[in-house]
Each structure stands twice: as C-alpha cells, then as structure tokens.
Amino acid sequence: MPNFKTVNNNTNAEATSSLLDNTSNLIAIISHEFKTPLTAISSAADLIAAKLHIDNYMDPFYKKNISKITTEIFKLNSILDEILTMSNIISNSIEIKKELTDVHEILQELKAQYFTDRKDARTFKIKVSGTHVKILADKKQLSTIFSNLLNNALKFSNKKMPVAELKYEEHAVIITIEDDGIGIPAADIPHLFQPFYRGSNVDNIEGTGLGLHIVRNFVTANNGEIFVTSEQNQGTTFTLEFPYP
C-alpha cells in the first residue's frame, strides 16, 4: 500500500516538525521565564553589596561570596542561552542573515570585549597574512563560533596566549585557533561535536558540552568547514575554512 505509506510518512514528518517547533517554543518560554528570577537574584546580590559598602561592612568574605552568587547567575544565564540556541538549531528555526563580513574585524571586536569566563588576565593574539577578502556569512553566528573556540582555548590552557591566525588564501580564508592547553584525547575527537559530549580529561573544568555542537552547526550553515588536531598536554588547533563568495 504505497500511498498509505507515503501519507503516513508525511503525517509523521509533520508531527515531528510540529513537536520540534513546540519543544523549541517551550524552551524559549522557559528560558525567558528563568531570566526574571535570575535578574531578581542578581539585583538582590548587587543591592546587598551596595548596602554593605555604604555601611562600611564590606569585607573580603562578603565580597568573595557575593561575587560567587553573581558569577553563578551569569553562568546559568549562559547555559540557558546555549540550550535555547541548540533547540533553535534542532528545530531549524535559526534565522541566518548572510552579508559580506570581515573576519578580521570580528576577531578584533571579540578581543576588545570582556570574556566573562576568563580565569586570568590573558587575552589572545591575532596574526594575519594575505590580502583581506570579505566572506558571505552571518556576523552574529561567526562571532559565536570564534567566541566559543577562543573561550575554550583560554579555559583549557594556562600559560601562553591562544593564537587566532587568519590566512587569506586564493579561494578561501583559513582561520586557525591554537592553544597550548590540556589537549583532547584521540578517542574523544570523533565525538567532539556531539551535543553534551565532553572530553574525558576535562575533570572539573566547567562546561555544558553544547558549545562545539553549536560551533559546527554555525560553521556548516555559513558554508564553512571545521577540523581539529590535538595532542594531550601539548595543545589543540581548530582549523576553519570559509570560501570567498
């Protein structure tokens, strides 16, 4: 009964699509609703800190622990944003606005910004070779890609500054992001871009396991490719390639 089967498949596809849309909407609502109490908590922590300052009661103990409350609130907020982005990817409801984009400019903007997850004062180096050519990409998604990879490079290394290198080649721009951190065990590399997968050597270093999944999706959506090479305790290099329009 081929016709019946076709109809049934279509119905299933529609039902699946509708379920994904509903799930995505539900996650968007939950994420938004969580932010209200998170804002109330962070404002209350701000208020307690301000009052302690004004009354001259602020000391290192209060300062450290109030700052801990605020840091954890912003971490939880980032997790919500990542889950929301991933749910939008799954339900195909991510809007993509491709325009001529200067990759170097995006990296410079990121360098100037404050990295909230930083555990030290390091930033990253930018090296450029070749003649600048713009690529056709979504600026916001490109910024998310580099911000994720650079945050990881800083998070999983301790000594040297990570390096973002741009090579404007004949047909494409090649970007490498290199760190001298803990590296990724060979057995983990094939699973690295799967949602919630975390390297077996990350121990207590925090993360959701969603960042690289989002990165790969955004790279693909912008006609790019991503590769990784890594050696344990030596470092990791992510290589991205975006063709010129």
Partner 1 sequence: MSNTILLIEDKPGLLDTVQSLLELHNYAVITATNGQEGVDLARIHLPDLVISDIYMPILNGYQLLEQFQQDEQLHKIPVIILSAKTAEDEMNLAYQKGAAGYITKPFLFTSLHEAMKKLLT
Query: Binding of partner 1 at residue 78 (CB under 8 A)?
Result: no
Query: Binding of partner 1 at residue 51 (CB under 8 A)?
Result: yes
Query: Binding of partner 1 at residue 40 (CB under 8 A)?
Result: yes
Q: Minimum CB separation from partner 1 for residue 161, in Å?
A: 26
- Of 46, 36, 37, 50, the closest CA to residue 67 belongs to 46
Stretch that binds partner 1, among 57-65, 72-80, 102-110, 123-131 (CB under 8 A): 72-80
Query: Binding of partner 1 at residue 35 (CB under 8 A)?
Result: yes
Count of residues that interact with partner 1, criterion CB under 8 A: 22
Query: Binding of partner 1 at residue 42 (CB under 8 A)?
Result: yes
Among 7, 26, 29, 47, binds partner 1 (CB under 8 A): 47
Which residue lies nearer to partner 1 by CB, 110 or 164? Answer: 110
Stretch that binds partner 1, among 2-10, 69-77, 119-127, 216-224 (CB under 8 A): 69-77
Which residue lies nearer to partner 1 by CB, 18 or 116? Answer: 116
Stretch that binds partner 1, among 4-12, 73-81, 99-107, 219-227 (CB under 8 A): 73-81
- Of residues 89-148, those binding partner 1 (CB under 8 A): 140
